[in-house]
Structure 1
């Protein structure tokens, strides 16, 4: 799909420190950065006590620690769930909890969240307190089942709450009603980290560490894990999340991170000393997620808990293999999905407002990525379904900016209360289950609700550019400055630029990537560029002499040498 390129206008940046380079001041000002946002110290984090339910949850968990009760953490099977589970286990053990373990539901056997079946397993394992991480806000029946067994539940989650909340002993979720915590974009791992901080404060108030001869732990040593989960869950990087992510990245760059993260970076061929948020998002996160998509997420948790680098490398290699298998499965599913859309005469010129794809034999663990790929290709909200158990099919939804996916599912549920068996999620991603025979009715209502709520403007793909760089700005120094001026990510987009260039060389590499040598308009400089997953019907184009390119700056490292490279987002022959 060809995107409209919109240049961000120049804005007043006089409120930002004069010591910042002019280009960086503009990049920050266009993204709404304030003077306070320029302070990335941990002291600038939002206070834990502003998160509703925090003290109540901390009190319950501290009581359980003091009473030596069996605590079981119930996680989710994605990277956010794995990192949330890991930091809770590590933190609680550092704080003196002796009986703490975890359960992560296998997505194929139990599905998402604290279900009654998972409660039963936890009860068989002797649970006396359950803590959900990255799930639980929609686990009405699961919490009820725990209550019947007299097992209190502390829910920690970040997903949007429905009309009914579970009857948990405590709920910590900034997206529950009446929670004043300012960062509604915090990931599940961030919520869990904040709770661990409150538990430490409560235990300190009780003189627990002194009485048990425990050194009060520095929970900042867990921030590399918190940063990984935050980036991998693709939550908006508001100022609070940026502080968390930057603190975690600093730990990695200084060689003070978990050996599991080091092993994942190594196998992804990323330099830990130069790590940035995108390395977590595109290299480490997918490999961690692969465990939950194709196998058991416990492998990912055990890697993050691991203390031995050699064992960590073995587990990282296993995750890398699973990720390669996932990519092969995904490629096949994507080919099948695009073929189905082609049969329906759906292409760039004939697009409905939303897309639904379903095939009985698709892999449940990969439909989320499939939906994301199709969403990126067509710039439409997409739901991909695969067969589940008991005549049900499970859907994974991905949305575009301005189309709130969970709210959309809520409207469908209001129109037909018995259609969706269960659903949950947030603005950009959601999950749901329906009966297989209900797919036609669901698709009909899906298109109806989209037509009623989505304006055509939202369906026009847009690329935002920070304008044109002068030839003397196309240098490694500029790329280096931007690289470490982030962290960049969701809703705090990495700077993107546009310009017209002359093609000096063009060739295919790796079957579907276009390698270019470009010359600036004034003819003063030659620059390497690469466009991944190019449209092979359009490129290489030996007739094209000049091109308009939208790009970001990257530093290419090869055999110890560094050079500037343009990462092409869009290319058009002039």
Structure 2
């Protein structure tokens, strides 16, 4: 049994509405169902969403502040003022800066750019940068993707004689800066109808206000990158902007974008929003995380192909380095957190800080810890000399992290962000109070259900509905991203037909799933370890995205697995594994990832004679086979089995007798997974199911070998030479003869009884026991998994 990592939730679409929409638009029921469940149940709404139109684009002068900003910029152009574009170091900030560069180049302006260094300076507008701007002769600053919280810094700029136009999209604070113009759709009194613009989206609207219909179409490529990278909702105007950007990107005139697509291994002709999110954006962000974002700006604005290829290669290497840095910090942060909570409960909000945690990647680390613990997470880097902490937060849907930070604003020097993500700085002396205040706020907001991760699906469907045409139809809903995710489908009761690992070191998993006559391939990246848990015939439920797999000119539908579950108890066939203890520990860690927040327990049963060190089985209850009691506990302190309900039961060794097996099954009647890890006994040493012919032949041999008292070892040696049976089998048969008084044992010798009383073999307890033990051994050593599973089920029913 495998529990899904998250709880799957899918809305039930009104079948009448689905049928009506499918009929009126001549679309498939699957596509119609998706549109209905996403609130697009009318033909007009559905067509508007799928095909777009002018209604998605709004007049830029509806943005408050735009009417003041445009004349001020035109005045600067006329009077040849020197302008400073002040940006940010993430992909949205880089894109916004690049877009303003293209605009000011187009307008023939005199300008400079300034992006703060993430580690050395941190987020936002800085006074020392304004001092530098004065020295450069700047009289107008245009901020992009930043500035809405810079009250004091903009006041300082005013003192210096610099006008500031703020273009931003972050949540505005209560105290707004007194800038020349504030352009932010989230301002309380801004009438702009679409509030979800990215920073680069606001910059694009400024370009529209300056140029009208003359905005070059290719600039939408820059806007698309920042919008997708900053996880803005791909609805309304964003959807239109990203769609246009992707269309232009497929034949992009920008050397930097072409080079970035190339190092990201993205095919230009099929570039999608998903490619931006997982290919281009991480490389752009790597520049600001580990170096300076100016390198990424240079890439997006260069006109030289050679320079573009060099810069794209540098960003690719930085991204690889970033991945290694993240991996190290995740390990350190996880160890630190588990040490802190070893004896206690998990806090509502996890706050971790340490030196040497690169401030450029702490947001990624926070995301990874959130995935592991499903709690809001704040990770901070501590400066060793000043004690200042800079960090990033990532939150779960139940908690607005910006609101949480606002509740303890007095403890921080600076903070800003969104409900799902934020950044902050504070002194380490305030860390304890900071964590306490955040958890106090969280305790008043979060309920137990908020800590149960839920994945929204778009419906339950059958494999027969997941056709190539259905996969192609889904493209009409693209681009996919925030607020318009790739459709996810639940398929229940599919049989695993084939299982194999793929990729380097077998890191990835490929399955063929079957329902009736219909099959489909399914790929799960990073889940190769699950192959051993999913043999052919396993019934699974899967949560997956539908895609098109193109290979050698052929196209077919393919599922990209996001999560899976095995709803029934499993018998895991790992017989003959080289290191049973190591394999048991590996299985425990693997299944723990699929415990879905439920209590997880594991047990191992083995022979008392096992010499292998057991330290890898830490946290498991340990049991040994017992000749009298069947099994007995080895580590009494860890013997709690929850009335036999264990997530994993590992049989490191095969039981010696059916009674021992029955004792195991009786002790763990609700085991979700039983792993067979025993070695395979050499065929020459196995028992055979006894027959009358076996005993008839042995009787004749004994008559000649043991007519007089003969040492037992000599009898066994001579019998083994004259018989095809193993010494172990012969020893068991001698026990039967002794019980029936056909032989006598005395002082290590055996004597054949010449005229024994007539007795039936079936009257011997040892004969019956030998038959049952041989049958058990045959199942454990030779039978198929399905045969063994059926036989053990019959034993389990008998044991219960």
TM-score (normalised: structure 1): 0.91
Matches within 5 A, 1:503-518: 503-509=496-502, 510-511=504-505, 513-518=507-512
Deviations 1:262-313, CA, capped at 9 Å, x for gaps: 2111111111111111100010000011000000111111111012223211
Tell me the distance in 2 between the aligned counterparts of 1:31 and 1:174: 25
Tell me the distance in 2 between the aligned counterparts of 1:248 and 1:483: 16
Name the counterpart of 1:188: 199
Tell me the distance in 1 between the aligned counterparts of 2:558 and 2:218: 34
Query: 1:165 Cα deviation (Å)?
Result: 0.7
Match of 1:71 among 60, 77, 83: 83
Query: 1:382 Cα deviation (Å)?
Result: 1.1
Tell me the distance in 2 between the aligned counterparts of 1:298 and 1:529: 41
Tell me the distance in 2 between the aligned counterparts of 1:73 and 1:434: 27
Match of 2:352 among 346, 357, 377: 357
Name the counterpart of 2:293: 297
Name the counterpart of 2:362: 367
Deviations 1:102-144, CA, capped at 9 Å, x for gaps: 1111112221111111111222222110000000001112211
SS across alignment from 1:556: strand
Distance 1:345 1:516, change over 3 A: farther
Name the counterpart of 1:263: 259
* Counterpart check, 1:56 vs 2:68: yes
* Counterpart check, 1:112 vs 2:123: yes
Tell me the distance in 1 between the aligned counterparts of 2:233 and 2:505: 34
Query: 1:74 Cα deviation (Å)?
Result: 0.2
Name the counterpart of 2:659: none
* Counterpart check, 1:32 vs 2:32: no
* Counterpart check, 1:249 vs 2:246: yes
Name the counterpart of 2:655: none
Match of 1:225 among 222, 226, 236: 222
SS across alignment from 1:132: strand
Tell me the distance in 2 between the aligned counterparts of 1:72 and 1:565: 50
Answer whether contact 1:507 1:515 (CA < 8 A) is retained: yes
SS across alignment from 1:395: strand
Name the counterpart of 2:545: 552
Tell me the distance in 2 between the aligned counterparts of 1:332 and 1:123: 42
SS across alignment from 1:446: helix
Tell me the distance in 1 between the aligned counterparts of 2:202 and 2:398: 25
* Counterpart check, 1:146 vs 2:146: no
Query: 1:163 Cα deviation (Å)?
Result: 1.0
Matches within 5 A, 1:462-481: 462-481=454-473
Query: 1:366 Cα deviation (Å)?
Result: 0.4
Distance 1:573 1:512, change over 3 A: farther
Query: 1:182 Cα deviation (Å)?
Result: 2.0
Distance 1:70 1:43, change over 3 A: farther
Is there any run of 5+ residues in structure 2 with no aligned partner, and where? Answer: 568-800
Matches within 5 A, 1:52-451: 52-94=64-106, 96-201=107-212, 217-253=214-250, 255-345=251-341, 351-388=346-383, 390-413=386-409, 417=410, 419-451=411-443
How well do the aligned residues superpose, as a CA RMSD in angstroms?
Answer: 2.2
Name the counterpart of 1:4: 7
Answer whether contact 1:504 1:516 (CA < 8 A) is retained: no
SS across alignment from 2:355: coil
SS across alignment from 2:356: coil
Tell me the distance in 2 between the aligned counterparts of 1:394 and 1:302: 27
Higher mean displacement: 276-285 or 138-147: 138-147
Answer whether contact 1:108 1:364 (CA < 8 A) is retained: yes
Higher mean displacement: 66-75 or 469-478: 469-478
Distance 1:513 1:378, change over 3 A: farther
Tell me the distance in 2 between the aligned counterparts of 1:264 and 1:7: 37
Name the counterpart of 1:521: 515
Tell me the distance in 2 between the aligned counterparts of 1:39 and 1:248: 15
Tell me the distance in 1 between the aligned counterparts of 2:127 and 2:246: 38
Distance 1:340 1:565, change over 3 A: farther
Answer whether contact 2:50 2:477 (CA < 8 A) is retained: no
Tell me the distance in 2 between the aligned counterparts of 1:257 and 1:479: 30
Match of 1:532 among 514, 520, 525: 525
Tell me the distance in 2 between the aligned counterparts of 1:122 and 1:42: 40
Which one has more relative contact order, counting CA pairs under 8 Å at least 6 apart? 1
Higher mean displacement: 131-140 or 307-316: 307-316
Tell me the distance in 2 between the aligned counterparts of 1:350 and 1:498: 33
Tell me the distance in 2 between the aligned counterparts of 1:336 and 1:506: 35
Tell me the distance in 2 between the aligned counterparts of 1:29 and 1:173: 32
Tell me the distance in 1 between the aligned counterparts of 2:206 and 2:302: 23
Tell me the distance in 2 between the aligned counterparts of 1:457 and 1:109: 40
Query: 1:223 Cα deviation (Å)?
Result: 0.2
Deviations 1:45-94, CA, capped at 9 Å, x for gaps: 12212211111111111111111111110000010001001111101221
Answer whether contact 1:174 1:184 (CA < 8 A) is retained: yes
SS across alignment from 2:117: coil
* Counterpart check, 1:493 vs 2:485: yes
Distance 1:550 1:346, change over 3 A: farther
Tell me the distance in 1 between the aligned counterparts of 2:315 and 2:433: 39
Name the counterpart of 1:460: 452
Query: 1:511 Cα deviation (Å)?
Result: 4.6
TM-score (normalised: structure 2): 0.66
Query: 1:178 Cα deviation (Å)?
Result: 0.6
Tell me the distance in 2 between the aligned counterparts of 1:513 and 1:408: 39
Distance 1:222 1:346, change over 3 A: farther
Distance 1:508 1:561, change over 3 A: same
Answer whether contact 1:59 1:199 (CA < 8 A) is retained: no
Tell me the distance in 2 between the aligned counterparts of 1:59 and 1:288: 33
Tell me the distance in 1 between the aligned counterparts of 2:39 and 2:133: 46
SS across alignment from 2:477: coil
SS across alignment from 1:5: strand
Is there any run of 5+ residues in structure 1 with no aligned partner, and where? Answer: 202-215
Deviations 1:350-380, CA, capped at 9 Å, x for gaps: 6432212222111110001111111223322
Tell me the distance in 2 between the aligned counterparts of 1:59 and 1:374: 48
Name the counterpart of 1:206: none
Distance 1:304 1:323, change over 3 A: same
Higher mean displacement: 75-84 or 384-393: 384-393
